[in-house]
A and B are shown apart, each in its own frame.
Chain A
């Protein structure tokens, strides 16, 4: 029972902290974030396993964690409210080539992040070539290219009017 309780408690604490720390925290694969991920993994492993390194304990831990994951996925499918709280909602950062500065600031995304996503996903060189950019619920940024733009043309993207 203790193993199940430990696993469930740590899972819920991690879920809450990850969610509250912001979805960008562990998506940016900077060396700092990689170190953070390793430390968090090591810390939680110790708290979950305790002194018991037996295979039985490991089996119960794994089954509990996967079981909770499956249960939460069903809960999300059954309730839009649960899904909203657990996954959040996509945030539109650029709409029709207009930057939403407030959304950028609040979600701690830089214009450089959008440009990087644009270069990788659709080969855009400049901000004015981006039609829409969305911070997805998983933390990634998806970008769509403006129609008729190619490297070398297009106007300048600016902040959205209030």
Chain B
């Protein structure tokens, strides 16, 4: 084997070893750059670009009068929450719906819907959740719907979310 046959030379100082100082200098430089990379990764994590919290890990969108706070970058198997705030209706009770397409069902396991919907329709391409909204004065507290999601498929997913009338396509990146 070449590993056995290679015998290090004897140096002027009497040490018999193979010191490759040229390689070592290059590697020390590489080390310093990699430490910068470690720092950069920590900074990106602090910003939320590696998921699990941080200002950039979530996205705020509006679908009609519904405000939604959704994950933008998540980690595989790490539980996340999608929060939809439906405003109060002064004109009396009404049925409001939230709908999402098959991509969300495929990429995420929906572990909990809080409060539970009045009715749920699971179609081949989309799921619609119907919520009964109680009357409340204008500007009063609306209904906050929380979907607890667990990502089950890594990669970039374009999910269509909306209500009975409007839909929006949003991107969610699931990190492995």
The reply to whether the CB of A96 lies closer than 8 angstroms to some CB of chain B is yes
Are the CB atoms of B23 and A84 closer together than 8 Å? yes
Contacts of B1 in A (CB 8 A): 77-78
- Shortest C-beta distance, B40 to chain A (Å), equals 13
Segment 8-32 of B: residues with Cβ below 8 Å from A: 11, 13-15, 17-21, 23-25, 27-28, 30-31
Q: CB-nearest residue of chain A relative to B76?
A: A50
Contacts of B25 in A (CB 8 A): 106
- Shortest C-beta distance, A105 to chain B (Å), equals 10
The reply to whether the CB of A150 lies closer than 8 angstroms to some CB of chain B is no
Are the CB atoms of B3 and A76 closer together than 8 Å? yes
Are the CB atoms of B3 and A83 closer together than 8 Å? yes
Chain B residues within 8 Å of chain A by Cβ, number: 25
Are the CB atoms of A132 and B18 closer together than 8 Å? no
Chain A at the B interface: mostly helix, strand, loop or mixed?
Answer: mixed
Are the CB atoms of B13 and A96 closer together than 8 Å? yes
Q: CB-nearest residue of chain A relative to B20?
A: A89
- Shortest C-beta distance, B62 to chain A (Å), equals 36
Segment 131-148 of A: residues with Cβ below 8 Å from B: 131-132, 134
Are the CB atoms of A89 and B3 closer together than 8 Å? no
The CA-CA distance from A134 to B11 in the complex, in Å, is 13
Are the CB atoms of B27 and A88 closer together than 8 Å? yes
Given contacts A78-B3, A89-B24, contact A20 B15 (CB under 8 A): no
Q: CB-nearest residue of chain B relative to A73?
A: B3
The CA-CA distance from A107 to B25 in the complex, in Å, is 10
- Shortest C-beta distance, B11 to chain A (Å), equals 8
Are the CB atoms of B20 and A84 closer together than 8 Å? yes
Are the CB atoms of B14 and A132 closer together than 8 Å? yes
Contacts of B3 in A (CB 8 A): 76-78, 83
The CA-CA distance from A81 to B1 in the complex, in Å, is 15
Q: Can you pick out 18 interface pairs between chain A and chain B where the beta carbons lie within 8 Å of each other?
A: A20-B30, A20-B31, A21-B35, A76-B3, A77-B2, A77-B4, A80-B2, A80-B6, A83-B3, A89-B19, A89-B21, A92-B15, A95-B11, A95-B13, A95-B15, A106-B28, A131-B13, A131-B14
Residue positions of B touching A, CB distance < 8 A: 1-4, 6, 11, 13-15, 17-21, 23-25, 27-28, 30-31, 34-35, 38, 77
Known: A20-B30, A89-B21, A134-B17. 16 other contacts (CB 8 A): A20-B31, A20-B34, A21-B31, A21-B38, A77-B1, A77-B3, A78-B1, A78-B2, A79-B2, A80-B2, A89-B20, A91-B21, A92-B15, A92-B17, A96-B13, A106-B25
Residue positions of A touching B, CB distance < 8 A: 20-22, 50-51, 76-80, 83-84, 88-92, 95-96, 106-107, 131-132, 134
Task: List 7 tightest A-B contacts by C-beta distance, closest first.
Answer: A77-B3, A20-B34, A89-B20, A95-B13, A106-B28, A96-B13, A77-B1
